[in-house]
Structures are given as structure tokens and as C-alpha cells.
């Protein structure tokens, strides 16, 4: 049976699932993810509105995401167009967040390159990604 | 203070033990008994180690022993589906459980499971009942211990309904550490998840967050609390409502101090330094 990893994207960053869970298949993993999301959001739905679970396989490849806003039971009473608007805001915020993260990352890469050129200390990795290209020494 | 305890109950409600660096070596209720009351129980008291997962009695069964936890914790659980049960209360070194309600009292619905391995002092429930017929102090002990379980069930019902998973986990963990008298809680995330009615993944993510914040450290089945104040901050307010002012060990001790008029001096002959 395959192992799935359920990582949490939240306001403070990413929380990784270190051990994963063995489940029969991807549909079972989706049900599990929805269950975990419901448990995490229960009684604090507004505070977790922008959270999402990112489900990966055992080679850490992204399989699918479960945005909390999509399965929040306390939103079900809203008309469909309002729910869709909320979903769009969350998805948009996530894209914006990713874009900002990428820009910051690029800036750090630039700074690293400049520091290396000046013979100063530089950051080599951030959040699991290496920054400047390794010098050929 | 009787000779069963090695020291006074400190402001945090824990017994200080020189040999175990702060961990309790006695149960708080037993340590707070007058020598006279303890003397009635002593012939029947035994100590035993139980592993995590050991079932002391099942719901609907009548317990035949009273347990006074020393370093382990007893979880009261109610089955939710085959193989899973929700915790509805717990007893550690601050209390005792397993009193005989009498043949015509219906047995409690919860099972009692050890959910942090440790040692427990115990005695036959029948003998405690016989001793308490002769001792108002022991009758009060039983009453106070029962009320502790009841308060937990009442507050727990509300907590489970209105508090979030991370706050509930924080409270459960802080409570477990308090019950066993140690910051090192040998409980797996699977057990914690079951007690809280959550999926293990949910507990893993919550625990990872606490670890990233430097509040706990989790290694293979052992959770170490690094920052108590921060853990309480992450926990729900129920922690405060179920604090030392409700502990049977405190209530028994305060009654003993207050009602000392006709009791001989409580200085034990062999008090340790």
C-alpha cells in the first residue's frame, strides 16, 4: 500500500508530515485529507480559512491540494456565488503568497551571488532549496 | 504529612523527591492522609508497574481495586467504534479511582486504561469500603476523588464540542505531564490521537507545529515538554479550570490541616530532611 504525506500550508509557513500514512489509493488519500482538514479547522474555521493541505506521494511529488475553504462545512449555507468568491480569494492569496515567496527567494539568490563575489559569507539554502549555484572549486 | 510521602506538596501540587529529581514517589492522596486513616489502608496497599495500554477494567464492569497513581496515568475512555475510544477523564498522582459503589450501584460506563506506563499503588476496593465505614476522612477522600472525575467529564464535554484540535491537544499533553509528575510523557501520537478522537495525521501536524515553536520535542513515542508556559498558552482554557484547586490531593490535604483540633500531632517519627 502506498504512503501519502499530508503537509500543511498555513499562515506561518509549511508544516511537514514526517511519517506519512499508508492508504489504499489516491481517492482514500483525498478522503483522509478532507477528514484531517475538517479536524484542524473545527471550531476555528475563520482562523484557518487560508490553510490548505498539500498531499504528496512517497517520492514527495505533489498529488493534489485540499484548500480548507473548499470543504468548510460552516460555509455551506452561503449561496454558491459567495462560496466561489471566497474560494477565489483564497486561491488568489495563495498565488500571491507563492509569487512573493519566489520574489524573495530570487532576491536572496542575488544577494548570495553578490556576497560570494565580495568574499563575504552567504546563505546557501532556505526552506530546503539551495540558493546560489555552487562555485566550481 | 505522614511517612508515606517524602516531602511537602509544593506550590505546583507536585511532591518533591530528592531521589528522583522532582518526580513524585508517592501518590498525592495517600500522602495527604492522616496517619490514622493511612494506617487503616496500609495493610492492603501494594505497588505495581503497568504498561501503556493495560486495561484495568472495562466499562460496565465493577472495578475491584482502588488505584492511587504514583508515576503513571489512568485514562477513562468510552468506546466510539471497534478499536477506538475517546478519553473522558484521567487520574494521576493528584487523585485515586476504582472505589466500590456498592452492589446496587450501576457500574460506570467508562473503561480504565493505563495511558502512560508507570507505577500504581492499589488495594482491594472492598477493603477500602470497609475502612471508610469507620473513617469519615476516608469517606471524604472517596467523595473528593469522585467529584474530580465528574468535574473533568463536565468540562471535557464542553471542551470537546467547542475547542479546536490544537488547543485540545495542548491541554491533553499538559494534563498528562501533570498527572505523571514529569515533563517526559511516554505516549505515542497514535494514543494521543485516539484519546482526542482525531486522526493521527492531525495530531502529527499539531505536534510538529509545537516542536517548530520550541514548545515540545517529539521522538519515537516520547513527547518532552520544553516550555510549560507556552504549552498552556497553546492549550484551551479548560487547563486552568481543572487546576490544582480541584485536585483531590490538595483538597484532602487542606481538610487535614484545617480539622486538626482532635488529631494528634502529624509530625512523623522518621521525617527525612
Task: Please give the pLDDT value at position B34.
Answer: 95
State the ipTM, two decimals: 0.82
Task: Please give the pLDDT value at position A130.
Answer: 77
Q: Do A40 and B166 touch (CB under 8 A)?
A: yes
Taking the C-alpha atoms of residue A49 and residue A10, their distance in angstroms, rounded to an integer, is 9
- List the grid coordinates of B187: 505516549
Could you list the residue range(s) of the whole structural domain that residue A69 is in?
1-75
Q: Do B205 and A15 touch (CB under 8 A)?
A: yes
A65 and A95 in a single domain? The answer is: no
What is the percent of chain B where pLDDT is above 70?
Answer: 84
Of A75, A100, A120, which one is at a domain's C-terminal end?
A75
CA A21 to chain centre: 18
- Chain B residues interacting with chain A (CB cutoff of 8 angstroms): 162-166, 198-202, 204-206, 208-209, 212
A18 and A39 in a single domain? The answer is: yes
- Best A10, A37, A40, A46 member to test B by mutation, with max B CBs in 10 Å, is A40
CATH number at residue B75: 2.60.120.10
Task: Please give the pLDDT value at position B253.
Answer: 87
A63 and A12 in a single domain? The answer is: yes
Task: Please give the pLDDT value at position A133.
Answer: 60
A69 and A13 in a single domain? The answer is: yes
A18 and A50 in a single domain? The answer is: yes
Q: Do B199 and A39 touch (CB under 8 A)?
A: yes
Residue B252: name the closest of B141, B152, B143, B178 by CA. Answer: B141
Task: Please give the pLDDT value at position A96.
Answer: 87
Is residue A62 within 8 A of residue A56, CB to CB? The reply is yes
| pTM exceeds 0.95 | no
Give how far B111 is from chain A: nearest CA, Å. Answer: 25
A10 and A25 in a single domain? The answer is: yes
Task: Please give the pLDDT value at position B5.
Answer: 41
- Sheet-wide strand order for B65-69: B46-50, B118-124, B65-69
| Terminal-residue alpha carbon distance, chain B | 13
Measured between beta carbons, which residues in chain A are less than 8 angstroms from residue B159? none
Per-residue pLDDT tens for B144-185? 999 999 999 999 999 999 999 999 999 999 999 999 999 999
Task: Please give the pLDDT value at position A129.
Answer: 73
Per-residue pLDDT tens for B88-109? 999 999 999 999 888 788 888 9
Alpha helices (H) along chain B: 28-32, 35-41, 125-133, 136-162, 165-180, 189-196, 200-212, 228-234, 238-241, 248-258
> In chain A, positions 12-71, which contact chain B (CB-CB < 8 Å)?
12, 15-19, 21, 32, 35-36, 39-40, 42-44
Task: Please give the pLDDT value at position B258.
Answer: 56
Residues pairing with B75 in the sheet: B90, B113
A89 and A59 in a single domain? The answer is: no
Of A75, A99, A128, which one is at a domain's C-terminal end?
A75
Q: Do A40 and B200 touch (CB under 8 A)?
A: no
Task: Please give the pLDDT value at position B255.
Answer: 73
A69 and A32 in a single domain? The answer is: yes
Judged against a pLDDT cut of 70, whether residue B17 lies above it is answered with no
The total of structural domains in chain A comes to 2
- List the grid coordinates of B210: 509545537
Task: Please give the pLDDT value at position B12.
Answer: 43
**Whole-number Cα distances in Å, A94 to A97, A104, A123:** 5, 15, 26
B127 in any annotated domain: yes
Measured between beta carbons, which residues in chain A are less than 8 angstroms from residue B201? 6, 17, 21, 32, 36
Taking the C-alpha atoms of residue B32 and residue B252, their distance in angstroms, rounded to an integer, is 6
The total of structural domains in chain B comes to 1
Residue B175: name the closest of B111, B99, B88 by CA. Answer: B88
Give the contacts of A125 (CB within 8 A, at least 6 positions apart).
A131
A9 and A59 in a single domain? The answer is: yes
Angle B131-B64-B108 (CA atoms, 0-180°, nearest 5)? 105
Residues pairing with B69 in the sheet: B120
Query: What does the mean pLDDT of chain B come to?
Result: 86
Give how far B195 is from chain A: nearest CA, Å. Answer: 14
pLDDT < 50 regions, chain A? 136-137
Task: Please give the pLDDT value at position B262.
Answer: 42
Give the relative orientation of helices A26-41 and B200-212 as an angle to the nearest 10 degrees.
60
B268 in any annotated domain: no
Residues pairing with A5 in the sheet: A56
Taking the C-alpha atoms of residue A53 and residue B115, their distance in angstroms, rounded to an integer, is 30
Candidates A16, A40, A44; nearest CB to B202 = A40
**Burial of B65 per CB tally in 10 Å (0-12, 13-18, 19+):** buried
What is the percent of chain B where pLDDT is above 90?
Answer: 74
Task: Please give the pLDDT value at position A134.
Answer: 52
Could you list the residue range(s) of the whole structural domain that residue B226 is in?
18-136+144-253
Per-residue pLDDT tens for B19-77? 333 344 699 999 999 999 999 999 999 999 999 999 999 999 999 999 999 999 999 99
Of A56, A75, A94, which one is at a domain's C-terminal end?
A75
Measured between beta carbons, which residues in chain B are less than 8 angstroms from residue A6? 201, 205
- List the grid coordinates of B268: 512523623
A71 and A94 in a single domain? The answer is: no
Angle A22-B82-B96 (CA atoms, 0-180°, nearest 5)? 110
Q: What is the mean pLDDT of residues B225-241?
A: 92
A119 and A97 in a single domain? The answer is: yes
Give how far A79 is from chain B: nearest CA, Å. Answer: 26
Task: Please give the pLDDT value at position B134.
Answer: 95
Taking the C-alpha atoms of residue B38 and residue B62, their distance in angstroms, rounded to an integer, is 24
Is residue A57 within 8 A of residue A2, CB to CB? The reply is yes
B7 in any annotated domain: no
Amino acid at each position: 500500500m502506498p504512503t501519502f504525506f499530508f503537509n500543511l500550508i498555513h499562515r506561518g509557513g509549511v508544516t511537514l508530515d514526517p511519517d506519512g500514512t499508508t492508504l489504499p489509493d489516491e481517492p482514500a488519500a483525498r478522503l483522509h485529507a478532507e477528514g484531517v482538514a475538517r479536524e484542524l479547522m473545527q471550531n476555528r474555521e475563520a482562523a484557518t480559512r487560508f490553510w490548505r493541505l498539500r498531499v504528496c506521494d512517497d517520492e514527495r511529488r505533489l498529488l493534489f491540494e485540499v484548500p480548507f475553504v473548499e470543504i468548510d462545512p460552516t460555509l455551506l449555507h452561503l449561496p454558491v456565488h459567495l462560496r466561489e468568491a471566497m474560494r477565489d480569494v483564497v486561491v488568489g492569496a495563495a498565488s500571491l503568497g507563492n509569487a512573493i515567496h519566489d520574489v524573495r527567494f530570487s532576491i536572496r539568490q542575488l544577494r548570495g551571488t553578490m556576497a560570494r563575489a565580495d568574499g563575504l559569507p552567504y546563505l546557501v539554502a532556505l526552506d530546503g532549496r539551495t540558493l546560489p549555484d555552487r562555485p566550481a572549486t | 504529612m505522614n511517612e508515606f510521602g517524602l516531602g511537602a506538596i509544593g506550590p505546583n501540587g507536585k511532591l518533591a523527591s530528592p531521589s528522583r529529581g522532582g518526580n513524585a514517589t508517592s501518590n498525592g492522596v495517600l500522602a495527604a492522609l492522616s496517619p490514622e486513616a493511612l494506617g487503616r489502608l496500609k495493610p492492603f496497599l501494594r505497588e505495581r508497574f503497568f504498561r501503556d495500554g493495560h486495561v484495568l477494567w472495562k466499562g460496565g464492569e465493577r472495578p475491584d481495586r482502588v488505584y492511587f497513581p504514583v508515576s503513571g496515568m489512568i485514562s477513562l475512555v468510552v468506546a466510539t467504534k471497534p478499536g477506538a475510544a475517546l478519553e473522558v477523564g484521567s487520574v494521576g498522582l493528584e487523585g485515586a479511582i476504582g472505589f466500590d459503589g456498592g452492589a446496587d450501584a450501576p457500574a460506570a460506563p467508562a473503561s480504565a486504561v493505563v495511558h502512560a506506563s508507570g507505577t500504581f499503588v492499589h488495594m482491594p476496593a472492598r477493603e477500602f469500603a470497609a475502612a471508610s465505614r469507620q473513617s469519615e476522612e476516608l469517606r471524604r477522600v472517596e467523595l473528593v476523588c469522585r467529584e474530580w472525575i465528574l468535574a473533568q467529564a463536565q468540562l471535557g464535554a464542553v471542551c470537546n464540542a467547542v475547542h479546536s484540535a490544537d488547543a485540545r491537544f495542548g491541554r491533553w499533553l499538559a494534563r498528562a505531564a501533570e498527572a505523571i509528575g514529569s515533563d517526559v510523557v511516554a505516549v505515542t501520537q497514535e494514543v494521543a490521537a485516539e484519546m482526542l478522537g482525531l486522526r493521527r495525521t492531525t495530531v502529527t501536524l499539531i505536534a510538529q507545529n509545537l516542536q517548530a515553536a520550541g514548545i515540545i520535542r517529539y521522538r519515537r513515542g516520547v513527547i518532552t515538554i520544553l516550555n510549560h508556559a507556552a504549552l498552556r498558552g497553546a492549550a484551551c482554557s479548560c487547563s486552568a479550570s481543572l487546576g490544582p484547586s480541584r485536585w483531590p490531593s490538595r483538597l484532602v490535604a487542606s481538610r487535614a490541616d484545617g480539622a486538626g483540633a482532635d488529631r494528634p500531632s502529624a509530625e512523623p517519627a522518621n521525617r527525612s530532611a
